[in-house]
Structure 1
C-alpha cells in the first residue's frame, strides 16, 4: 500500500514538471525576491563636516585636543598652504588665539544641523554665518561655505575669505591676558582639554557678575524711588518688582559675556557655557512675562472691582491662567530647542491633539468666547432688567459659561454665553427717558371746540409738567375719526432715573389729563362692539358753553395755540405745575424734619 502511494505521488510530481516546470521549480526552490533598489546613502565624513554644526563642533574638539593639523582640515586653503604642514598648524593656532581673545561662535543648537545649511537668512545658498571675532584691531565674520555641488555630498568648511582675514590679523601676543596672569600650575593642569585655571576663573566671574549686577540693580531702583513720585504706590512697587529679577539676570549674563571674552577665557569653555547663557536669557524673559501678567491681572482686577464689574473678574483670572500656561509651554519649547532637542514632531503631535481637543470642547470654547465678548461689549450687567429673545428678567449673574436671569415669575433662566452673545438683547436699564404714549378715544358727539380745548390744555399740561422733556417737543395731535370715536394721540418723554420713578410721573400726568377731559365736558368713547345697559350721562351744556366761550376768546385775542404753540407761552408754562401735588407724600420733607 505504501509503495502504491509513493508511485502515485511520483507520477503527479512528474506530470506537474512537464506541464509548468518553471512554476514548480519556483515553489520547490522558493520564490525569487524582487530586487528593490535602495537609495544610496550619503557616506559619512570622518570629521563630521556634512553640516555647519558638525564642522564647528569638530573644529572646537580638534583645537581642544591641540590637534591643529586636524583642525586645519576645516579650512578652505590654497593648494600651496595645504601642502605646508607648519603653515596649516600656524593658521589653526592663530584662529584659536583670536577666538580666545575676542571671538564667539553661535551656540551649537542654533547652528544649522542640515546639509543645506540655513535657508532663512539673507546670505546666499551654501553660506552660513556661525560667529565673529572682535578685538581692538580685528573684526572678522566667521563664514562657512559648502564646497560641494549638488551631485556630491555636502562639505562645510570655513570660507577662504575668513581664513585670509585670520592670516592677516594682528595678534598682540602669543598668550591671552588670562594666560599671562595665571600661575603655570593652573595652566598646565587641564580639565576637559581646558586649563583648570580657566574653569576656576569662570566660577569666580559668575559670582562677581551676579554681585555686581545686584549692586547695579539696587542703585538703579534707589534712583527710581527718588526720582519717580509714584514709586512708593502699589502700582509703582509692583512694576519695580516685576522688572527687578529679569533685568538682574540679563545684566549678569551681559557682564559675564563681556568680561570673560575680554579676559581671554578659552573659546572651548565659553562655547560650552553659551547654551547655559542663552537658557538664562530665555528664563529671564519668561519670568518678566510671568510677572507682567501678574501685574496686569492685579491692576485689571482692582479696576473692575472699583467699577462694580464683578463678572469680569472671573474672565480676567481665566485669561491670566491661560497666559501663564502659554508662557510655560513656549518656554519649554524654546529651552528644548536651545538644548538641541528636535521639537518639530512634538509640535505636530500637539497640533493634532489641539485640533481634536478643540473639536471636542467646541461648545465650551464657544461659551468662553461669548463670555469674553459680553464682558468687552457690556450689553448687560448684573442687576439690569433686559429681554433676551422672548425672555424678560433681571440679570443675576454673568459667569464664564452661562448667564442667569430671574423672570417676573421669580424663576431662574440659564442662558449659555455662546447663545447669549448671538441673541438680540434689549436692555431696559440703560434707558435715558421713558415714552408716554396714551391714545384717547372721544365720543363722536364731541364738538370741534372741545377738541380744540383739549389739544391746547393737554399740550399746556405737558409743557408745564417738570417731568416731561421739552426736547423732543411733546406732541398732542387729533389723529383720526373712526366709526366709533375721535382719536387724540399723545407722544412725549418722561425724564426719570428708573422705571419706578417714570411710572409715578406717568400716573400723575394721566390723572391731570383726566381732570382736563372732565373740565372740557367731553367723554371718552367705549368700543363700538361693547354692549352695555346704563343710563347715559347727559352732556353738560354749561361746560360746553363755557368751553366754547373760552375758545372764542382765544380766537378773538389770537391766542389759540393750534396747530402750533407760541414759544413765549411755552416758556411761561414751564414748571408751573407743582409736582408732586399738594397733599402728596413727600419723603424728603419728612426726612428733613
Structure 2
C-alpha cells in the first residue's frame, strides 16, 4: 500500500510538472488566459467575412441563442423549424470533431480565393465512418447585406455527424444528463471516464513496471556483474512512469475526446514519456559516476576520481538539461531550428552577458584537462592557500589553514600560478646554523662532518642531495647551511623528522665544544694618555 501511494505521489508530481510545462498550450487551446501574440501583422477583419461569420455563430451558440445562431445556416425551407436544433448540433460537431482556430479563416469579404473552392470557403473536414473526408463549407450570400453562412450541403450532414458523436453504443444506454457537455466541451460521461482512468492508469503502470522489471531481473541475475542489478533497481521509477505513458494512449482512445482535449492529453502523455526517458538517463549517469569512483578507490586513484568524475557528471547533467529543454520546446510546437538560428543573431548579446559564466566553465574544463590539482591536495594559487575541497563547474572551494572556505572562480584560477604541494615526491629540509666565532676551524670541520653523517644515517633521507657547508660570516656568527630531502609526502611525518633532526643538531654542536651564536656587539674602550674620565654625576 505504501509503495502504491508513493507511486501515485510520484506520478501525480510528474503529471503536475507536465501540466505546468504545457500551461501555455492550455491557455492557447482552451482560452484560459491572455491572447497569444500573432505570428504576422494583424489584418483588418471585415464584418462580412468568413471569420466574422464563424465568430458570431460561436458567440451566439455559447450564449445559448440558438435562434440567432441558426441565421448563419443555409437551411432548406422544409427544415426551417429545426434550424435552432441544427445550430446546436453543428456547435457540438465543431466542438467535438474540429480543432478549429478561427484565425485561420479568411478575414476578407471575398473569402479565401486561393483554396480552390470558387463557390465558397472550406472551413474544415469531418471524417466519415467509412474514412471519407466531408467538408464543412461556408458560402457567401450577396444580400443585401453581404454575409457568409454554412452551406446547405454542410447543414444536410449535421444530423449524421451529430449521431456519430460520443460512442453511439453509450449514447443508447447512458442517461441524457451524462451526454451533455461539461467544461472544455467534454461530455460528462467522459469526465467520469477520466476520473476512473487515473487509478486504472496507476494500477496498470505498477503492473507493467513490475512485469518488465521481473523479466529484466531474470536476465540480470544470470550475469556475473552487479552493475546491471543496481541499474535495474534504480530505474524502477522511470519504468513505472514510462508504463503509465504507454498505458495512457489506449485508455484515452476509448474515451473519444474532442480534438483539442485529446491533443493536449496526447502531448501530456508524450511529456510523461520524455520525463521518464530523461529521468532514466539521469539515474544512469549517477550509477556510472558511483561505479567509477568505487573502481578508482580500489585501484588507488581515489583522489583523481574525486576530482574528475563529479566534474564530468555535472557536465553531462547540464548537457542533458539543455537537450531536454530543446525537446520540450519542440513538444510545445516551437520551431527549435528557427530558435537555434535566432540564437546565432542574438548570441552576441547572450555571450556578452554570460561571458564570465562561460569563462568559468571553460576554466573548469582547462583545470580538469591539465590535472593541475585534485580534491584533497594542498594548493597555493595566487594569494589563496588551502586544501581543495570541491571542484565545480563555476568555482573551486579551498579549506584554508584557518578552517574557512574560500571559493575562487575557475576562470581566474586557470590564469593563476598554481603551486600544488600534493605533487611533491619528497620534502625539503633547509636551515641555517650560526656558530660563534670562538669556534676553531678544526671544530667547524668536525661539526660539519657530524651534521652530514647524522642526515645520511636517517632511513628516509634522500642520499643524492645532502649538503652541509659554511656559507657566510655574519656580524656575530659563522653560518653553516644545511640542505637535504626526505622521502615522504606526509607533512605531519616531515614535522616529526625535522623536530628530531634539529634536536640532534643541537647535541652535535654542544658535543663538539662549540655553541650557537646570537646577535651581539663588542665595544672596545681605549684611553689615551693625558685624558681624564669625565665626572660622573652621583
Normalised by the length of structure 1, the TM-score is 0.39
- Rg larger in 1 or in 2? 1
